Amino acid sequence: MTVETKGKELNQYVQDSRKSFEQHLKELVDIPTVSADPAHRQDMDKCAARAAELLKSFGASAEVIQTKGNPVVVGEFHRSKDVPTVMIYNHIDVQPADASEWKSPPFDMKVDGDKYLGRGSTDDKGPALTVLYGAKYAFDNGVPINIKFCWELEEEIGSPNFEQFLKDNKEKLHTDYIAVSDTVWISRDRPAIGYGLRGLLGVIVKLKTGTKDVHSGLVGGLARNPIGELAKLISRCYDATTGEVKIPGFYDDVNAVSENEGKDFLASGFTVDAFKKAHELIKLRTEDNLEGATRIWAKPTFEVHGITGGYSGPGVKTIVPFQAEAKLSMRLVPSQDPEKVFKLFEDFVKKELPEAEIIREGALFPYMGERTGPEAEAAVKAMKEAFGKEPAFVREGGSIGAILSMQKVLGKSSLFLGLSLPEHGYHAINENYDWQQASGGMKMFVSYFKALSELKR
């Protein structure tokens, strides 16, 4: 199916593109690119090849670049070396999907009115395709900018080979601006532009006090209890009621949230009530909307993911366990450094429970882009033109390794021009995308490319 831009007003082009957009999206969604499952390795190659073909059929150059893991698809609408370049990052791998839980098969995309149902429709194949449609219109209509595409196939497993890929292809990926279209608005009524991420530090703490479980009637009172001691350690690390971390120095490098940021957090449409419903949580640590938004986007956390050891079968078995393990993590915010925080944690544990073994798991730096300045203004203008509403600047509570790698290797920060909505079911069953976001997104990217091309460099 060919996509024609010639002599068309933008609105006409978008309207005329609907059928082909739906067909192209189905082609991508129907390939089960589940990166977490090695059995889908061939689907990765298949989807990469299909995506490259698609880019070419739109008139862009495209190639599939191999890595030690899954390939990356790169493409470009090249105008000239005398104009600025923007790169848009998307990913076309997806989360696993258990078909038995879905209304319709996850890898056989269904069009239901305005809705597109299928795994990867909103995360992130739909937005990737939306960018491509917008880019084609901008390019065919002479917007003086080079538009690069970077479509990863390992995002859902933490981008293990992406940084090396960037290093190996640094010249090819050279760009003036980067936008990432892989994030979720807070509400359909208000476009959201993301500019910050939390970092992450995972740790496991183990304690061994013997070599086998023993009878509490026999040893209880004299024998130590490793589960209890780990629980005590955790309660020394943080106040589980308020969430406040008590490790000395933990908050030293935390940047305060400015008044303007706070205003924007609220303007995004975030409410504690809607959040509670969306995540099916019963009671939260605060009912205050601003504090709530700040807690998930701009405050660090200490979290207990699991404690193992002892007996967990039916009823009570009166043993004293001989070992226990706590799986912990800390979400970090600008300007906390995972190295430094790990050291603080390690020193604290060594003092509180010297016999504990500390195992360091993965770490990611927090990220902070620009929410002001010409690039951000271009994004605001584009969102406003396309969706009729001033966007709100928000942060993300999670961590996206690819964004950190792009900043490190390509030297450019990213803005998150996502198109997904909370009701699209990111990572959930019955994932969907919709024509309203796709059509608005196409227009938004056309405006964005125009606005960027007009910036003074």
Least distance to Zn ion from the beta carbon of 85, Å? 23
Instruction: Figure out which of the listed residues 27, 43, 123, 396 binds Zn ion, where binding follows CB under 5 A.
Output: 123
Instruction: Please name the helix (run of DSSP H) or strand (run of DSSP E) that holds residue 439, with its range, or none.
Output: helix 435-453
- Measured CA to CA in angstroms, residue 29 lies from 2, 124, 127, 418 at distances of 19, 10, 12, 18
Residue 103: partners with Cβ closer than 8 Å, 6 or more residues away: 117, 430
- For Zn ion (CB under 5 A), the number of binding residues is 3
Distance set, CA 356 to CA 76, 229, 233, 307, 308 (Å): 53, 10, 10, 14, 14
Nearer to Zn ion, 302 or 445 (CB): 445
Nearer to Zn ion, 320 or 403 (CB): 403
Q: Which of 30, 43, 76, 124 binds Zn ion (CB under 5 A)?
A: 124
CA distances from 170 to 163, 165, 410 (A): 10, 8, 7
CB nearer Zn ion, residue 196 or residue 300:
196
Q: How far is the CB of 134 from Zn ion (least distance, A)?
A: 18
Interacting positions 141-200 with Zn ion (CB under 5 A) = 182
Minimal distance, residue 374 CB to Zn ion, in Å: 27
Q: How far is CA 174 from CA 140, 164, 183, 313, 407, in A?
A: 22, 15, 23, 57, 12
Stretch that binds Zn ion, among 24-32, 120-128, 190-198, 437-445 (CB under 5 A): 120-128
Least separation in angstroms between residue 155's CB and Zn ion is 6
The smaller minimum CB distance to Zn ion, of residues 14 and 400, is found at 400
Nearer to Zn ion, 47 or 230 (CB): 47
CB of 259 to Zn ion, least distance (A): 31
**To 10 degrees, what angle do helices 126-140 and 18-29 make?**
140
Of 124 and 375, nearer to Zn ion (C-beta) is 124
**Least distance to Zn ion from the beta carbon of 34, Å?**
13
Q: Give the footprint of Zn ion on residues 301-340 (CB under 5 A).
A: none
Residue 433, SS3 per DSSP: strand
Least distance (Å) between residue 95 CB and Zn ion: 8
The nearer residue to Zn ion, 152 or 261, going by C-beta atoms, is: 152
Does an H or E element contain 267, and which? Answer: helix 259-267
Cβ burial of 19 (10 Å; 0-12, 13-18, 19+) is exposed
Binding site for Zn ion (CB under 5 A): 123-124, 182
